[in-house]
């Protein structure tokens, strides 16, 4: 059976049993307890806890998952994967153990036609009920049912005696035995029927739940008779493509180290493609760190196979095509995904060359010191900075008769682990808070009235003070803000990039100033302070939004939709939104684009937005099923999770987007749109910052004033100011060049050649640290410019001079070192205090001052110590 057919058969089977077929959750859910979605049950956390009324008691899904706990085993074993699909059927206080077991048997034996003799089962040691259902009702022989302990057949593992407290239950696992294939667990049925309150103390839950998980790839491998997940029909093309681009015959390499590397690269290509589709991009922390780690590991595998060029990006279209039936939306993302992967590959390959040089330098220094142990922090730095896994360092070190201090590695990893930890304990998954308690009484949360009203009567249903529910709150001076929860509100809660509303809430004898509004757990949280009287739960109030601020926010939010339209027109459909921030008359808009948007295109984009504004087209919105909205062409954000019924905002005949924000009545109310910045925020992602309305007009007036002042100062008409400034800059450049090239007076000046002659080396860079006599700060800068012309790459400079009891320090780096993270201002911040001063500046050039000339020798020593640490040598 094809993998796609298996996925559909499962979902259709459980839909026939009354389970609502729900879409997969996103890979990076809005859940602080996990980095990535690890299982199908994660999106039903609230349903399992009995909070709210979802409108269904049974569900079935095929969930996209990412787990990184066993990442080192990917490619080495037949089953370990980073990205995988989890089929699941769930019950929230509805059907239970008997139905779950009978339906599992029915699906495997009757629907999939699996020979029952190929199946074995496990149950929890004390779960006689499950044992009897399998044996007495289904008819499974007792020799094919094994009772297992709490470490194997209880969720969470070991919960009865080891904890944590909370929801838990026994499970029953189903194994498949194929010809010549080791047994594989294909399905786990979890019966969450207890609440653990202490060691060995399991209290029955009033509402028992079912949580099952079948690994799609594992089940497909069993049905297709192949020995590993990497050989199933949707994975084999990726493996073949990886082997082809790496120039390896996979059939011959399958059981070698190269085979492991090819499988690992194929797995990582799948995970990375899905992550990038959902705008989870390579970065230094959280999910982005995981994506970067996966990509770098795959590139390093290829590097060790002799590949020195990017290759992983070529697998993205293969992934999209092999997964097309289940995830057709992947195909449109391929160009954007490929660009991001290739850009990251190219940068890492440059970094990897440096890393390998540093590794060899580390080997040399270790031997020179008479040691045979590579320091743990050095080995971990090679991983975190250059992407070289510790086991690779170990292997290469062994070739040099060296070993790695693994306890030291673990100590360094512990300091760094927060950014890469992607798992959570069950107690965290089912953690409850004050809003959950409130939700038990108010299942539907707060009713939002803000689309049509800015003032409304309401009732206080909750007060949160210092994170705890309270019955009342009084006016006080200082202290943290408190939270009011209303049954209905016109205040917009921060979401979708739009900031929350501010305003006032007034009742009988009290006033509450709303400083911000958030949204959580279907409640709108009004953060602020009681400025008069006393507010109590049950009090009747009038909630009033700051109308002028709301209108400014509406202008900015509607402008983001117009900007999105203009980007598609001038850059192409690939310029999809990747994030936004909407504030009063100010917005920032992140979008996919491989390169900077030039001045002419920015002007054209701005002109298009203002042309749309001047149409005065009506803005309208309607609620509709998400499938209908997508059919109509409404734009949706990659990776965003939408409900079944969505709000579609339409502007004229040129924009239609899924959006929950507040908008204008017509686009003419934007007034004026002005782009003020364009920059890179990540590989393949650009950001435009813009102003609207009065803020945009104020900026234009300020710029006109500045131009008028320049015109008066330079004594030329405004139209000639640019030419006059350019001429002055050319004159300054010429003077600097002449100053740098002039010969110093006899012994009282220092030249760039003199400084280079005394230079030292650190981390492969040329380092110039010197005190220069009889020089001004300007002359130090000229000297640094001269040094950078002579050493365009790998140069670090810090010069110090003193005159009349004052010290001047100037530091600079060559562009390549700046690109690698060096920062002249940060360097000076660690040196200037030695001479009793401070300062800072740009990454490439910075200046500082001090007042203790007698400490210049100590400052020079400090400068050398700091740069050695920064450059790693």
CB 459 within 8 A of CB 539: yes
Give me the pLDDT at residue 191, please: 97
The structural domains of the chain, with segments of one domain joined by +, span 3-231, 242-419, 434-545, 550-700, 746-871
- Residue 675 CB neighbour total at 10 angstroms: 18
Residues in binding site for Zn(2+): 557, 561, 659, 663
Please, where are the H alpha helices in 480-576?
547-570
pLDDT over threshold 60, residue 428? no
Mean pLDDT, rounded, for 89-115: 97
Domain 3-231: what homologous superfamily? Bira Bifunctional Protein; Domain 2 (3.30.930.10)
**Degrees to nearest 5, angle at CA 292 with 291 and 294:** 65
**Distance from C-alpha of 20 to C-alpha of 55, rounded to nearest angstrom:** 10
The DSSP 8-state label assigned to residue 596 in this structure reads: P
Identify the band that residue 422 occupies on the pLDDT scale cut at 50, 70 and 90: very low
Mean pLDDT, rounded, for 113-121: 96
**Degrees to nearest 5, angle at CA 738 with 736 and 742:** 120
**Distance from C-alpha of 435 to C-alpha of 432, rounded to nearest angstrom:** 8
22-60 burial, b at 16+ Cβ within 10 Å, e below that, comes to: bebbbbbbebebbbbbbbbbbbbbbbbbbbbeeeebbbb
Helices 216-224 and 3-15: angle between axes, nearest 10 degrees? 120
Instruction: List Cα–Cα distances, 868 to 613, 724, 819, 862, in angstroms.
Output: 56, 44, 18, 10
Backbone angles phi, psi at 180, to 5 degrees: 70, 15
Q: Using the structure block, give the residue that is written with the tokens 């959570």.
A: 424
Mean pLDDT, rounded, for 38-43: 91
**Distance from C-alpha of 642 to C-alpha of 646, rounded to nearest angstrom:** 7
CB 453 within 8 A of CB 490: yes
* ω into 164 cis (within 30 of 0): yes
156 Cβ contact partners less than 8 Å away, ≥ 6 residues apart: 164, 168, 425, 426
Higher local confidence (pLDDT), 387 or 814: 814
**For 141-155, 262-276, 373-387, 491-505, which range has the lowest pLDDT when averaged over its residues?**
373-387
pLDDT over threshold 90, residue 353? no
β-strands 577-583, 586-592: how paired?
antiparallel
For the stretch 764-799, pLDDT in tens is 899 999 999 888 888 899 899 989 888 889 999 999
Three-state DSSP class for residue 542: strand
pLDDT over threshold 90, residue 373? yes
pLDDT over threshold 50, residue 462? yes
Residues in binding site: 557, 561, 659, 663
CB 389 within 8 A of CB 297: yes
**Distance from C-alpha of 357 to C-alpha of 599, rounded to nearest angstrom:** 40
The token pair that represents 377 in the structure block:
């922090």
Identify the band that residue 678 occupies on the pLDDT scale cut at 50, 70 and 90: very high
**Distance from C-alpha of 78 to C-alpha of 70, rounded to nearest angstrom:** 13
Mean pLDDT, rounded, for 619-646: 82
For the stretch 177-215, pLDDT in tens is 988 777 899 999 999 999 888 898 999 988 899 999 999
Share of the chain above pLDDT 90, in %: 67
CATH code given to domain 550-700: 3.30.980.10
CB 796 within 8 A of CB 765: yes
Higher local confidence (pLDDT), 845 or 684: 845
**CA end-to-end distance (rounded Å), the chain:** 58
Give me the pLDDT at residue 106, please: 98
Domain 434-545 has CATH 2.40.30.130: yes
For the stretch 645-657, pLDDT in tens is 899 999 999 999 9
Identify the band that residue 426 occupies on the pLDDT scale cut at 50, 70 and 90: very low
The token pair that represents 792 in the structure block:
């365009």
For the stretch 48-92, pLDDT in tens is 877 767 789 999 999 999 998 888 899 999 999 999 999 999 999
Three-state DSSP class for residue 689: strand
Helices 599-614 and 547-570: angle between axes, nearest 10 degrees? 120
For the stretch 688-700, pLDDT in tens is 999 999 999 999 9
Higher local confidence (pLDDT), 430 or 62: 62
Convert 384-398 into a string of H (helix), E (strand) and C (coil): HHHCCCHHHHHHHHH
E-strand stretches of 487-552:
488-489, 503-507, 510-520, 523-532, 534-536, 540-545
614 Cβ contact partners less than 8 Å away, ≥ 6 residues apart: 668
**Distance from C-alpha of 527 to C-alpha of 664, rounded to nearest angstrom:** 25
pLDDT over threshold 80, residue 521? no
Identify the band that residue 403 occupies on the pLDDT scale cut at 50, 70 and 90: very high
The token pair that represents 43 in the structure block:
């999106």
pLDDT over threshold 70, residue 294? yes
What length does the chain have? Answer: 873
**Distance from C-alpha of 198 to C-alpha of 582, rounded to nearest angstrom:** 48
Give me the pLDDT at residue 873, please: 63
**Distance from C-alpha of 253 to C-alpha of 315, rounded to nearest angstrom:** 19
Domain 746-871 has CATH 3.40.630.30: no
Give me the pLDDT at residue 543, please: 98
pLDDT over threshold 60, residue 420? no
For the stretch 742-751, pLDDT in tens is 644 433 456 7
Identify the band that residue 730 occupies on the pLDDT scale cut at 50, 70 and 90: very high
Instruction: List Cα–Cα distances, 723 to 711, 718, 729, 872, in angstroms.
Output: 11, 10, 10, 45
**Distance from C-alpha of 106 to C-alpha of 357, rounded to nearest angstrom:** 60
Give me the pLDDT at residue 741, please: 67
Higher local confidence (pLDDT), 838 or 407: 407
Element (H, E) at 201: strand 201-215
CB 655 within 8 A of CB 564: yes
Give me the pLDDT at residue 417, please: 58
Share of the chain above pLDDT 70, in %: 96
Element (H, E) at 318: helix 316-322
CB 28 within 8 A of CB 278: yes
**Distance from C-alpha of 62 to C-alpha of 21, rounded to nearest angstrom:** 9
Instruction: List Cα–Cα distances, 370 to 209, 366, 408, in angstroms.
Output: 62, 7, 19
pLDDT over threshold 50, residue 576? yes
Give me the pLDDT at residue 245, please: 96
pLDDT over threshold 60, residue 218? yes
pLDDT over threshold 80, residue 702? yes
pLDDT, mean over the chain: 90
**Distance from C-alpha of 280 to C-alpha of 127, rounded to nearest angstrom:** 42
Selection from 485, 629, 511, 497 nearest residue 556 by Cα: 497
For the stretch 144-181, pLDDT in tens is 999 999 999 999 899 999 988 888 999 999 999 988 77
Helices 390-399 and 330-368: angle between axes, nearest 10 degrees? 40
Mean pLDDT, rounded, for 300-328: 95
């Amino acid at each position: 059976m094809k993998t796609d057919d298996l996925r559909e058969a499962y979902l259709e089977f459980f839909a026939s049993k009354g389970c609502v077929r729900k879409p997969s959750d996103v890979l990076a859910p809005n859940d602080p307890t996990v980095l990535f979605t690890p299982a199908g049950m994660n999106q039903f956390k609230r349903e399992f806890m009995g909070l709210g009324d979802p409108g269904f008691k049974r569900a079935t899904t095929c969930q996209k998952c990412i787990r990184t706990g066993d990442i080192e085993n990917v490619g080495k074993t037949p089953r370990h994967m980073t990205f995988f699909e989890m089929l699941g059927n769930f019950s929230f206080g509805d059907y239970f153990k008997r139905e779950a077991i009978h339906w599992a048997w029915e699906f495997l034996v009757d629907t999939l036609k699996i020979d029952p003799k190929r199946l074995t089962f496990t149950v929890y040691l004390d779960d006689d009920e499950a044992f009897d259902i399998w044996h007495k009702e289904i008819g499974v022989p007792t020799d094919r049912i094994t009772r297992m302990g709490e470490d194997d057949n209880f969720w969470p593992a070991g919960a009865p005696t080891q904890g944590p407290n909370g929801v838990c239950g026994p499970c029953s696992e189903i194994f498949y035995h194929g010809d010549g294939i080791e047994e594989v667990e294909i399905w786990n049925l979890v019966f969450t029927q207890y609440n653990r309150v202490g060691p060995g103390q399991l209290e029955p839950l009033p509402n028992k739940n079912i949580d099952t998980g079948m690994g799609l790839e594992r089940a497909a491998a069993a049905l297709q008779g192949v020995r590993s997940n990497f050989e199933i029909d949707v994975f084999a093309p990726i493996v073949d493509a990886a082997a082809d681009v790496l120039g390896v015959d996979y059939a011959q390499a399958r059981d070698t180290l190269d085979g492991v590397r090819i499988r690992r690269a194929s797995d990582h290509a799948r995970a990375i493609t899905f992550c990038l589709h959902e705008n989870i991009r390579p970065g230094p922390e959280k999910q982005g760190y995981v994506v970067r780690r996966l990509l770098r590991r795959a590139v390093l595998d290829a590097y060790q196979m002799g590949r020195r060029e990017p290759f992983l990006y070529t697998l993205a279209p293969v992934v999209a095509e092999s997964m097309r039936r289940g995830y057709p939306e992947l195909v449109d993302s391929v160009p954007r995904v490929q660009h991001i992967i290739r850009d990251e590959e190219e940068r890492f390959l440059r970094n990897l060359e440096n890393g390998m040089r540093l590794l060899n330098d580390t080997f040399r220094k270790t031997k020179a010191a008479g040691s045979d142990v590579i320091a743990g922090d050095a080995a971990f730095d090679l991983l975190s900075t250059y992407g070289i896994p510790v086991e690779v360092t170990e292997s290469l070190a062994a070739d040099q008769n060296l070993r790695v201090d693994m306890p030291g590695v673990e100590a360094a990893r512990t300091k760094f682990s927060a950014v890469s930890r992607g798992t959570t304990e069950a107690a965290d998954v089912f953690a409850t808070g004050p809003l959950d308690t409130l939700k038990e009484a108010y299942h539907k949360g707060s009713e939002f009235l803000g689309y049509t009203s800015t003032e409304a009567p309401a009732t206080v249903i909750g007060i949160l003070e210092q994170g705890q529910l309270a019955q009342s709150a009084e006016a006080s001076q200082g202290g943290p803000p408190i939270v009011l929860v209303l049954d209905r509100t016109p205040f917009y809660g921060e979401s979708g990039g739009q900031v929350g509303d501010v305003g006032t809430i007034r009742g009988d004898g009290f006033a509450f100033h709303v400083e911000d509004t958030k949204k959580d757990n279907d409640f709108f949280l009004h953060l602020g302070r009681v400025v008069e009287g006393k507010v109590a739960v049950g009090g009747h109030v009038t909630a009033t939004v700051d109308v002028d601020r709301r209108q400014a926010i509406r202008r900015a939010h509607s402008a983001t939709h117009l900007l999105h339209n203009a980007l598609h027109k001038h850059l192409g459909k690939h310029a999809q939104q990747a994030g936004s921030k909407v504030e009063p008359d100010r917005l920032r808009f992140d979008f996919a684009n491989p390169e900077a948007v030039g001045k002419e295109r920015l002007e054209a984009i701005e002109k298009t937005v203002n042309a749309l504004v001047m149409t005065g087209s009506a803005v309208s919105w309607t609620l509709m099923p998400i499938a209908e909205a997508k059919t109509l062409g409404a734009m949706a954000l990659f990776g965003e999770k939408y409900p079944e019924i969505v709000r579609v905002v339409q502007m004229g005949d040129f924009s239609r987007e899924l959006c929950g924000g507040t908008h204008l009545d017509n686009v003419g109310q934007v007034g004026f749109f002005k782009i003020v910045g364009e920059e890179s925020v990540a590989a393949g992602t650009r950001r435009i910052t813009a102003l609207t309305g009065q803020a945009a007009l104020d900026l234009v007036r300020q710029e006109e004033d500045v131009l008028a002042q320049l015109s008066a100062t330079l004594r030329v008409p405004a139209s000639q100011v640019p030419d006059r400034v350019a001429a002055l800059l050319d004159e300054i450049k010429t003077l600097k060049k002449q100053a740098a090239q002039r010969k110093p007076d006899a012994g009282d000046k220092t030249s760039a050649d003199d400084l280079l002659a005394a230079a030292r080396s650190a981390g492969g860079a040329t380092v110039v640290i010197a005190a220069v006599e009889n020089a001004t700060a300007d002359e130090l800068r000229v000297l640094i410019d001269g040094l950078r012309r002579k050493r365009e790459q790998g140069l670090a400079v810090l010069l110090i001079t003193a005159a009349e009891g004052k010290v001047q320090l100037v530091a600079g780096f060559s562009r390549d070192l700046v690109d690698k993270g060096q920062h002249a201002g940060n360097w000076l911040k660690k040196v200037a205090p030695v001479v009793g001063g401070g300062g800072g500046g740009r990454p490439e050039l910075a200046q500082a001052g001090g007042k203790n000339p007698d400490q210049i020798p100590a400052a020079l020593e400090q400068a050398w110590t700091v740069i050695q640490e920064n450059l790693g040598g």
